[in-house]
Structure 1
Amino acid sequence: AEYDWSVSCDQEDEDGDSVFCFTSQVRGGSASFSSSVFNLMNAIMGSGILGLAYAMANTGIIGFTLLLILVSSLAVYSIHLLLTLCDQTGISAYETLGDRAFGRPGRILVACTILVQNIGAMSSYMFILKSELPAVISSFLSPVHDGGVWYENGVLLLILVTVCVVLPLALLPKIGKFWKSCRTCYPFHVKCFLLCIAFCFVCVCFSQSVYAVPTMAFSFLCHTAILPIYCELQRSVSTKQRMQQVTNVSISLSFILYFISALFGYLTFYNSVESELLLSYDVYRPRDVLVVIVRLAVLLAVLLTVPLIHFPARKAVLMLVKGEESISFLSHCLATFLLITTVVLLAVYVPDIRNIFGVVGSTTSTCLLFVYPGLFFLRVSTHTLPSPAAVGALCLVLFGVCVGFLSLVTITVSLVQS
């Protein structure tokens, strides 16, 4: 990040001499308001949109709406705390805030949390590939064809796509090379992703209401991208009001899209909604053109998103293992193979995508969304208890800890019983 340094002499010491005070502010970038909103919505919208219809089926429309309002409002407030810290410290990275608040242990803790969060996100995308690829291929085959062939085996198709597409893109050393390699298909990828959002019946979700809040936390998590987007935002003065407006618009639009997708997914099948909604259409309209288009859009989106999410995950692994040392090509390859192998194994052996959303959402998502922003604010900010800002940060921490702990315990018990 770059900083603008200013000096003032509006203070005096005990002898009456002027005291010069140096302050720093993050310098504005070249990104416009609309492009910042788009970038932040890209960070928010992901596989979480596929995880809300079944939650509505189990919490009811009114209960779901109230929970969605609560989580989105707390997300806005936690981002407000991060922006306040950014203005006070000039820090533009989540891990650096952890280092500022708790030293190297804080930096390692944040890096580990981001790593687990990204592994969970990649696993959810891989799970979608495993479940949707066979259905898409079957829709192009004759209705009377014999089943049981290899190209209708989700696990084999997942391994094949991983080796041929995901792994080569993930092995690239820099994210810029990834975009250069995908420059011919990325515009189509963006259009397909927006198309996927527009078709609001594309939803995958959970079988118990206990998964609702973790899923929403997973869906609204964008905090690791907030500070970099803030530093790139074009502004005449270095204040957080403009970025807060970007946040309010982005989360409001995401709220609308999430609510519409959950509502129409629920109204399609009511209490019979499956945890993988698109597979439910095989019973009623297995070869519908619109359903096939949506499936292809989802597959293309997740296929190109997995290696993209892999870059910060690999960076976290190398930072934890190597620290600030130079990274060799061998270490780069080993970290890539380790991460991709872990993600594929999770996608293969986890029986339901709701388990990924539930466990990751109740642990790392609640930490990054609620707990860490409040803790960092209490530790770094000049506001101390019992000031209103500090009390709000403390309440945010307590909410995140309680919700995360209770959700994780309940989910663990249900998994053990099943």
Structure 2
Amino acid sequence: VPRAWQTSGSQLFEGKTSFGMSVFNLGNAIMGSGILGLAYAMANTGILLFLFLLTAVAGLSCYSIHLLLKSSGIVGIRSYEQLGFRAFGITGKMAAGIAITLQNIGGKENLTLVLQLGYLGYTSGFSLSCMVFFLSAVIYKKFQILCPFEEFSSNSTLALAHVANVTVNHGYHNGHVMVDDSNCSPQMFTINTHTAYTIPILAFAFVCHPEVLPIYTELRNPTQRKMQHISNISILIMYTMYFLAALFGYLTFYTNVEAELLHTYSRIDPYDTLILCVRLAVLTAVTLTVPIVLFPVRRAIQEMMFPNKTFNWIRHVAIAVILLTFINILVIFAPNILGIFGIIGATSAPCLIFIFPAVFYIRIVPKDKEPMRSTPKIFAACFAGLGMLFMIMSLSFIIIDWTTGSSSALGGH
């Protein structure tokens, strides 16, 4: 791989970012709001099944990055959308752009941290610090909140759901729900209607692939092996943080955990100082990262709708205003965060992690170098098929769950 990369503006760019900083940058790109839903995913799979699925998605993400890096190294392209254009023309470019737009729209509703070429600012570091603060608070709260819980406010979403079934396992007295001791034992393996959300939540949490190539470009003395090593370390660090957040969040609330973990703490004590500080930190991180998250979405829209247009401030601002207006409307009317995790995680995330890197690799790598029946391309084809299977199964189960109405009682803003 050449040290100097050709940018879209026909200028040479030589990376100056160190190995350690690249690990940090990619970790920022991976870390996002998906961490808020991992305890809920563990509650609906059990500890062992969740650990298996988390490990599988992390490993498959590493393989996906390998495919992207190899494809990029052959054609010398550092843009996810341009790889799509090289592989399938305007159709591939549009598909990649739409998937990136959907993923980052979901991230702006929550907390997806996206890093772009040339941006090594304090915002990303602060956002990652907020997530470390969040993890520390989750671990600390596990030893402070004892199960069974004395009471949940009857105004909470989950409490209202329990009141509907009060004659089964719970008592209801003076506006509070008394939780049974039987809900305080961890499950190693469980399957229910909400298990279908697990893979979408995990896929949502590990999407960083549109940012891999820009970070690769920034890397000093870039090689495919070096960038793969960076990716593996970053994913391993986030894998550890994700598992700890899920484990301690689950062991705090067990089956009572909601899709948005911080909302569950508010049911115990709405005025808990530590949780309020965590909420403030997360909200501040969201506010600061909105301009960064706009970059890939706006670039994708520009590539799709105005590929040959020169820069124009009116168009530039108009795209941002339309996007932010749409996001605010979506936040107001979306029923709960679980729906965002489910739909985005079951559509754009499998495309960006599984399907696109595999099909781009199959199309871009020359047949004289790797025939269609070669082992790498067979693996890539199976990888794309696995992504399609995940997408179809997840969407099917989520739609079934929605039609039964069982998810409407869970989670909230």
- Aligned pairs for 1:89-108 within 5 A: 89-108=75-94
In the TM superposition, what is the alpha-carbon distance from 1:2 to its structure 2 partner?
A: 7.2
Pair 1:192-2:179 in alignment? no
Change (3 A) 1:177 1:103: closer
Partner Cα distance (2:125, 2:31) in 1: 17
Consecutive unaligned residues in structure 1, runs of 5 or more: 6-25, 127-173
Question: Cα deviations across residues 89-134 of structure 1 (Å, max 9, x unaligned)?
Answer: 11111111101101122112111111111111112349xxxxxxxx
Cα distance, 1:51 vs structure 2: 1.4
Are residues 1:386 and 2:373 paired?
A: yes
1:337 lines up with 2:321 in the alignment: yes
- Does structure 1 residue 74 correspond to structure 2 residue 74? no
Moved more, 343-352 or 300-309: 300-309
Q: Which residue of 2 aligns with 1:154?
A: none
In 2, Cα distance between equivalents of 1:234 and 1:318 = 29
Mapped partners of 1:281, 1:39: distance in 2 = 30
Deviations 1:32-87 (A, max 9, x none): 11101000000000101111001100100000000001111000001011111122
Using the alignment, how far apart are the partners of 1:81 and 1:178 within structure 2? 26
In structure 1, C-alpha distance between the alignment counterparts of 2:349 and 2:261, rounded to whole Å = 24
Task: Decide which moves more: 403-412 or 192-201.
Answer: 192-201
For residue 190 of structure 1, report the CA deviation from its aligned partner: 5.0
Moved more, 111-120 or 73-82: 111-120
Counterparts of 2:136 and 2:26, CA distance in 1: 18
Q: Which amino acid aligns with 1:284?
A: I
Deviation at 1:27, TM superposition (A): 7.7
Measured in 1, the distance between the counterparts of 2:252 and 2:308 equals 52
| Structure 1 residues 360 and 177: alpha-carbon distance in aligned structure 2, compared to 1, 3 A threshold | closer
> Would you say the 8 A contact 1:200–1:262 is kept in 2?
no
State the partner residue of 2:286. Answer: 302
Alignment of 1:138-157 (within 5 A): none
Q: In 1, distance between residues paired with 2:402 and 2:347?
A: 16
Whole-angstrom distance in 2 between the partners of 1:244 and 1:39: 14
SS of the equivalent of 1:365 reads helix
Count of residues in correspondence between the two structures? 343
Give the distance between the partners of 1:40 and 1:48, measured in 2 at CA. 16
Q: How does 1:142-221 map to 2 (within 5 A)?
A: 188-200=126-138, 208-221=194-207
Question: Aligned partners of 1:250, 1:125: CA distance in 2, in Å?
Answer: 18
Return the match for 2:297 from 313, 318, 322. 313
1:31–1:45 distance in 2 versus 1, CA, 3 Å: same
Matched, 1:124 2:110: yes
- Secondary structure class of the residue paired with 1:323: coil
- Compute the displacement of 1:207 (Å): 7.6
Q: Distance in 2 between matches of 1:121 and 1:110?
A: 16
**Alpha-carbon deviations, 1:179-213, whole Å to 9, x = none?**
6xxx6x7765553343234434599xx98110110
- Alignment check: 8 A CA contact 1:214 1:365 kept: yes
8 Å contact 1:56–1:263 — kept in the other structure? yes
Q: TM-score, normalised by structure 1?
A: 0.76
SS of 1:324's partner is coil
CA distance in 1, matches of 2:365, 2:100: 23
3-state SS of the aligned residue for 2:110?
helix
Q: Distance in 2 between matches of 1:412 and 1:212?
A: 14
Q: Alignment partner for residue 54 of structure 1, among 31, 37, 40?
A: 40
In structure 1, how many angstroms separate the alpha carbons of the residues matched to 2:4 and 2:256? 57
Name the amino acid aligned to 2:244: I
Instruction: Give the direction of change, closer, same or farther, for the CA distance of 1:340–1:176 in structure 2 (3 Å limit).
Output: farther
Q: Is the 8 A contact 1:175 1:311 kept in 2?
A: no
Aligned-partner SS, 1:199: helix
C-alpha distance in 1 between matches for 2:124 and 2:360: 36
Q: Is the 8 A contact 1:207 1:275 kept in 2?
A: no
Check conservation: 1:3, 1:90, Cα contact below 8 A.
no
- Does structure 2 conserve the Cα–Cα contact (< 8 Å) formed by 1:374 and 1:396? yes
- Identity percentage of aligned residues: 41
331, 337, 351: which is aligned to 2:335? Answer: 351
> What CA distance in whole angstroms lies between the structure 2 residues aligned with 1:390 and 1:48?
31
CA distance in 2, matches of 1:310, 1:56: 31
**Could you tell me the TM-score, scaled by structure 2's length?**
0.77
1:407 aligned partner, one-letter code: S
Partner SS state of residue 270, structure 2: coil
